[in-house]
Structure 1
Amino acid sequence: MKLRYPALALMISVGLFSCKGKDDKQAQAPQATPVSIDSARIAKAIYYDPYQATIVALKTVEIRSQIQGFITGIFFKEGSVVKQGQPLYEIDKRKYLDALQQQKANLSSAIANQVKAQKDADRYSFLLKNDAVARQTYDQAIAQLQTNKSQVAVARAAVASAQTDLSYATIRAPFTGRIGISQVKLGAQITPGSTLLNTLSSENPIAADIIVNESDINRFYGFQKQGSDSTFRLQLSDGTKYLKPGKIFAIDRGVNNQTGSIKVRVQFPNDQDILKDGMSAVLNVLNTVSGDRVQIPYKAITEQMGEFFVFVAKDTTVTKEDSINTVKKDTAAAKAGGIQTGKYMIAKQQKVTIGPRVNADVVVLSGLKAGQRIVTAGFQRLKDGGKITLGQPQGQGAPGQGGGQSQGGGQGQTGKQQGK
């Protein structure tokens, strides 16, 4: 009986040691990180680039007088719409009427002198044919006739000039538009070319001016050749959306070499008089990469030194041979679990080029294909090539930030290698 108990105790102690060894190995075996996974998908991505805009009238003129005098009449309501050719101001025209009458009288006198000279020339011509007058007398008559004709032409030009000055006494609207508040009152004396009377601007159509970087010039030239009703959308300063479509009216002749930018003018209909000259607005311009694009949740993006990455979930199978090779190369793996085989998922870090955000998603311009599975949560402590499993992530950070911050040291080298 004494010999049987030590043998039983030895067997129990060997069994306990064996179980403890297995438990230690299982405890030391690397565990899969629980993550959330979503798939990259093709979706409609229509988005606009905002530009600060200033509403400008296509036609604006400062009204000034071309003659000197005193204002004797104002024929419009300030701030109203005036028609082309409508009288706006009248300058005292009495002296211009007198000047016109004087020039007309001078014209009549010049015409009378021309008639007399013509008769003299005809008379001397008849006498010359009969040798009844000297040739010199005839030549003098012809010269006098030409002089009188020139004086008539001068008198006619003086009459036309006086008529023009008289017409300047009534200032008319050069085009249909809205006139502003008058800068002069009745009886004010004005100086030609310098005294500002008023400002007139057109309203329909109207335009929005934006400043565009020179790198985007070709994009706007393309819009000028072929655009759609959805290319330009205007948003007013109070947030109201202007529903009328716009089109490019003009692109400035050249780039400003000081700023590297160019002015673009977009025309809009304004039949309801909503847009006013000088208003501030935001012009939303359709992005050329809009359309069916690969999109993923923005929270799946991590940023490292200005580059963007995602973790792509991939299925992998480890054979016995692969596991043996891993154990031979990796002492830690040998200590942790030894030979392990089977199917599981790993997360591979992949560099992507992203575009604009669309609500909670972001457009991926390159680096991903539709259908690829990406890790959207739980990647804060995940390493490139690490095991993952579907489950509730632990300690997930803020979307789009946690991954980039917490794994800056662990993944920085990976990011550099992929960037190369």
Structure 2
Amino acid sequence: MNKKNIFLIGPLAVLWVSCKQPGKQAMVLPPTAVTLVAAERADAVYYDQYPGIVVALNSVELRSQVAGYLTGIYFKEGELVEKGKPLYEIDRRKYQSAYLQAQANLSSAQAGLIRSQKDADRYNQLLKQDAVAKQLVDNATATLASSQSQVESAKAGVVSAKTDLDYSLIKAPFTGRIGISQVKLGAQVSPGTTLLNTISSEDPIAVDFVVNENDVPRFSAMQNKPAIKADSTFMLTMSDGTAYKQPGKIVVVDRGIDNQSGTIKVRIQFPNTKRQLITGASVTLKVLNQASGSQVMIPYKAVTEQMGEFFVFVGQDTIANQVKVKVGPRVSDKIVILDGIKPGDKVVTEGLNRLRDKGKIMVGPPKQSAQGQQAPK
């Protein structure tokens, strides 16, 4: 053997000897202490949330139909007024006079009709006896027709005058809350242009919200169902976060989709006996999700997210396998799992940050770290 070969073999022998020495073996990680919780099937009730605006089912701007000076205001601003209650009065004197004049004209026309009827009857009787010219009979018949027309015209005058007289006293068209008056006593009002006030109904009341056009079939189906008592399908959360206890029912889905936003308006009706809902208030409408019911659920903290995908660790004997899942909504401290695991699968809820796919596990609390303890001498 030459010296060159001896030189090459020497380092290999040293390396082989060093690998065989005790205490130089590869490091093996200990099992991770974890807590396992079994997935279970339970009733999951959850809602889709939409921003909404409270609106009155009936809201009317009060405007005068006749001209004149305002002579009376018969309500307290902001109060609840009953249907038919007088609210405003416009100077009625000329309208009262016009009504009386129209009634007098009607009485005069009716008297003329009676006279014309008698003349026509008399001339027709004489004509049968050939005691009067036919022309006189024709004249009497024409006068009778004219008198009948005058009566009809006078009746229309009475109706018109009575309408103007009624319009001079403005009444509540329905039961609702009236706002702040826009005019004061003595103000001149013009027909159809002068805004007097606004009155809105309060009970029941509605909430308007918009949904994506893809949801139109869902809400249309709800609308087409037979009318039933309101249930928990539609619930409200007030602007201060408190829950509104009265459930609602769908009233209408709007006639068409907005071609710019791709949304459609839906209206839900709610009872409002305690007047908690105020027109114009912002609320959150909760609509019962169609998938509510029996679902697989696990603790929310068992789910981890990576690049927009969701995973859980499922314990099998002493190994934890990372499983991709499809999640549903969160319900309290749990979350609905739509796909990926089944009831009875045990998911890891504690020790997730120390786990890797197919890592070894042991069930139990994590071991206390010895860091900070003084090493024995």
Same fold? TM cut 0.5: yes
Question: Alignment partner of 1:289: what SS?
Answer: coil
Distance 1:305 1:227 in 2: 45
8 Å CA contact 2:32, 2:354 repeated in 1: no
Q: Distance in 1 between matches of 2:241 and 2:359?
A: 49
Name the SS for the 2:246 alignment partner: coil
CA distance, structure 2, for counterparts of residue 213 and residue 308 of structure 1: 26
Offset of 1:377 from its aligned partner? 4.7
Contact 1:214–1:260 (8 Å) recurs in 2: yes
Inter-partner Cα distance in structure 2 for 1:219 and 1:109: 66
Q: Which residue of 2 aligns with 1:239?
A: 241
The yes-or-no answer on 1:273 pairing with 2:284 is: no
Shift of 1:227: 7.5
User: Conserved in 2, the CA contact under 8 Å of 1:35 and 1:375?
Assistant: no
> Cα distance, 1:72 vs. partner?
0.6
Write out per-residue CA displacement over residues 188-227 of structure 1, whole angstroms, 9 at most, x where no aligned residue: 0101111111111111112222222222333334544368
Once residues 21 and 297 of structure 2 are traced to their aligned partners in structure 1, the CA distance between those partners, rounded to angstroms, is 48
Q: Report what 1:256 is aligned to.
A: 258
* Residue 352, structure 1, aligned to residue 325, structure 2: yes
User: What's the counterpart of residue 360 of structure 2?
Assistant: 388
Q: Distance in 1 between matches of 2:281 and 2:216?
A: 25
Q: 1-side partners of 2:303 and 2:44: how far apart?
A: 18
Structure 2 residue aligned with 1:163: 162
Aligned partner of 1:364 among 337, 342, 346: 337
Partner of 1:105: 104
For residue 328 of structure 1, what is the aligned residue in structure 2?
Answer: none
Contact residue 54 and residue 208 of structure 1 kept, 8 A: yes
Separation in 1, partners of 2:42, 2:177? 47
Change in 2 beyond 3 A, CA 1:383/1:242:
closer
CA contact (8 A) 2:32 2:355 kept: no
1:272 aligned counterpart, secondary structure: coil
How far does residue 30 in structure 1 lie from its aligned partner after superposition? 5.9
- Is contact 1:104–1:159 with CA below 8 Å preserved after alignment? yes
Moved >6 Å (runs of 4+): 16-19
Aligned amino acid, residue 203 of structure 1: E
Q: Does 1:208 align with 2:182?
A: no
Matches within 5 A, 1:330-345: 345=318
Q: For 1:354 and 1:282, how far apart are their aligned partners in 2?
A: 23
Partner AA of 1:390 in structure 2: M
Distance 2:240 2:359 in 1: 52
SS in structure 2 of the partner of residue 171 of structure 1 = strand
Q: Find the aligned partners of 2:344 and 2:111 in 1 and give their Cα distance.
A: 100
Q: Provide Cα deviations, 1:76-128, integer angstroms capped at 9, x if missing partner.
A: 11111111111111111111112112222222222232222222212221222
1:181-220 correspondence to structure 2 within 5 Å: 181-220=180-219
Partner of 1:319: none
Alignment-derived partner of residue 26 in structure 2: 28
How much is the aligned-residue C-alpha RMSD, in angstroms? 2.7
Distance (Å, rounded) in 1 between the aligned partners of 2:18 and 2:190 = 113
Deviations 1:291-350 (A, max 9, x none): 3321223333233443222233334xxxxxxxxxxxxxxxxxxxxxxxxxxxxx434332
Q: State the shift of 1:249 in Å.
A: 2.5
On the 8 A contact 1:32/1:387 being kept in 2, the answer is no
TM-superposed deviation, 1:383:
5.1
User: Following TM superposition, by how much is the alpha carbon of 1:256 offset from its aligned partner in structure 2, in angstroms?
Assistant: 2.1
How many residues matched? 347
Could you tell me the TM-score, scaled by structure 2's length? 0.83
| Identical columns (%) | 56
Q: Displacement, 1:381?
A: 6.9
Q: For structure 1, which segment, 212-221 or 99-108, has the greater mean C-alpha deviation from structure 2 after superposition?
A: 212-221
Letter in 2 for 1:248: I
Listed as ranges, the gaps of 5+ residues in structure 2 are 1-15, 368-377
2:350, 2:83 → 1: CA distance?
67
Distance in 1, Cα, partners of 2:305 & 2:240: 35
Structure 1, unmatched stretches of 5+, are 1-15, 316-344, 395-420
Aligned partners of 2:41 and 2:297 also within 8 Å: yes
**CA distance in structure 2 between the aligned counterparts of 1:209 and 1:56, rounded to whole angstroms:** 7
SS of residue in 2 equivalent to 1:85: coil
SS in 1 for 2:152: helix
Q: Give distance in 2, aligned partners of 1:217 and 1:51.
A: 14
